[in-house]
Structure 1
């Protein structure tokens, strides 16, 4: 009897040890659950490319992000750059010339200079708005209820991931990875971050990326319904960029949404929102998926 009790106790201890050593199953993060709900309900969300610019609204501007909330646009894609002295801020180009009142290479300019500049809208009009820091952008997006798709410029993956954590923004952002290798690095730095990654799911999985926390970038152009359906059968979400095709016609957006794609990246947020029913149609869909994801 003594030997049997020892055997049972030993087996119990071994099972407990094995359980403790078994890697945890991959988890689906909040943003991934939002997108899962979008797919399961047949919704299409809009993402404002470079925050959604236009007359009176500059690229990568806080006012542009705030406008998205008024239009039922859920995502704002913004470009994160780093100044010569380590300040993270929003800027798309490699120079300051086109979108600000300043000049110079972004990697060579100190924040003490960049912070003095005003933003310029696409028509060249100077605005009463300065270049936003990453931290201020997070706060503005949080207050507006807009999620950020983060595109890295001259900032490293590690620096960006650390900044996201410092601002407690893991549930409010999606990070754009242009290659499988970039996605694997970002996943290794923080596996709970949701990524926009190339449409190469097998390679992503082989690189150790949790596909539950990924949506696939189909590229620029009108999405294909059969391709999207094939991904959906595997529980995968997708996004496509319409911005080179936009011409003020609402049919572009309605036709693209009819393919089933979950996210459309666009420049013309006014027309895109109008095409999909405006805030009155989009806000209830957003709230449905926010509630489902909690």
Structure 2
């Protein structure tokens, strides 16, 4: 399916002007700033992470133009996915195959970057756009002085490659590695102790492993699952100064879309500090009653 000419012109007009529109910013300038932003505190500002960057009609996932669009709407962390090409280039794509989200076919690890950057990206409805696949380096360059990235490292990409890519752009203050397991986070931490991580802490066993790991609490936030954990997990993580993220993509997002109740507000009030969602604008607008009147963290948020 292809976009009709008139709609394509409208999308092109609006996209080409996104960087001219005022955009929300989340701007930790240093590693210490990022650690302060991520640390749980009573005056914390609930944050939204735009899953795969916040795709929408005409705007594909893992696409810089989509990231720009999201920031014109709300302040958001940008979650994005990295794959490795045949010629060892770090490229932005969730799937290990090209077919669903681009005009290409086949596995990414069987294609060179020269081939990959020629394919056109599709939106979630399968509509072909004019947008191209970016590299991780291009995304790191784009994010500087704009927002914080959470980088989901797919499959068997060596940690050394991700660490080197972040170091090249001096992006330790605005690029968080989604490490999943604590042992994996430790591999990255040993390579660069200034990096920040998302790690899975869903139950008491995970919490015990974290405590024994030696991984500094200031370097992490906890992904507590795609459903809410026991309230004790929130409490124990908060005692350690660790913020908690709930992934609402999937079932929780669907429940909110069905208007059963304000799921997003309820999750934040129960103890979550961040939401990773496929509906970033709706989620953010649902949290107005959870925002503190004053917060030391407001200095990291702006719009320009």
Secondary structure of 1:96's aligned partner: coil
Question: Which of 180, 184, 187 is matched with 1:178 structurally?
Answer: 180
Q: 2:221 & 2:79 partners in 1: Cα distance? A: 14
Secondary structure of 1:97's aligned partner: coil
Q: Is the 8 A contact 2:44 2:295 kept in 1?
A: no
Correspondence for 1:242: 248
1:43-90: per-residue Cα shift (whole Å, max 9, x none)? 210001111112122111112211222222321110111211122110
Correspondence for 1:290: 300
Equivalent residues in 2 for 1:1-150, closer than 5 Å: 29-36=32-39, 39-143=41-145, 145-150=146-151
Question: Which of 162, 166, 191 is matched with 1:189 structurally?
Answer: 191
Give the drift of 1:123: 0.6
Question: Which of 204, 227, 232 is matched with 1:221 structurally?
Answer: 227
Inter-CA distance 186–54: structure 2 relative to 1 (3 Å threshold): same
**Greater CA deviation, 255-264 or 117-126?**
255-264
Give the drift of 1:102: 0.3
Structure with higher helix content: 1
Give the drift of 1:287: 6.2
Q: 1:134 & 1:286 partners in 2: Cα distance? A: 31
Inter-CA distance 129–222: structure 2 relative to 1 (3 Å threshold): same
Inter-CA distance 268–205: structure 2 relative to 1 (3 Å threshold): same
Structure with larger Rg:
1
Q: Is the 8 A contact 1:180 1:197 kept in 2?
A: yes
Instruction: Check if 1:266 corresponds to 2:277.
Output: yes
TM-score normalized by structure 1? 0.81
Q: 2:140 & 2:244 partners in 1: Cα distance? A: 24
Question: Which of 246, 249, 255 is matched with 2:266 structurally?
Answer: 255
Q: Is the 8 A contact 1:75 1:149 kept in 2?
A: yes
Aligned pair count?
Answer: 260
Q: Is the 8 A contact 2:194 2:219 kept in 1?
A: yes
Correspondence for 2:24: none
Q: 1:285 & 1:120 partners in 2: Cα distance? A: 40
Inter-CA distance 229–204: structure 2 relative to 1 (3 Å threshold): closer
Inter-CA distance 286–151: structure 2 relative to 1 (3 Å threshold): farther
TM-score normalized by structure 2? 0.79
Secondary structure of 2:210's aligned partner: helix
Is there any run of 5+ residues in structure 1 with no aligned partner, and where? Answer: 1-27
Q: 1:131 & 1:84 partners in 2: Cα distance? A: 15
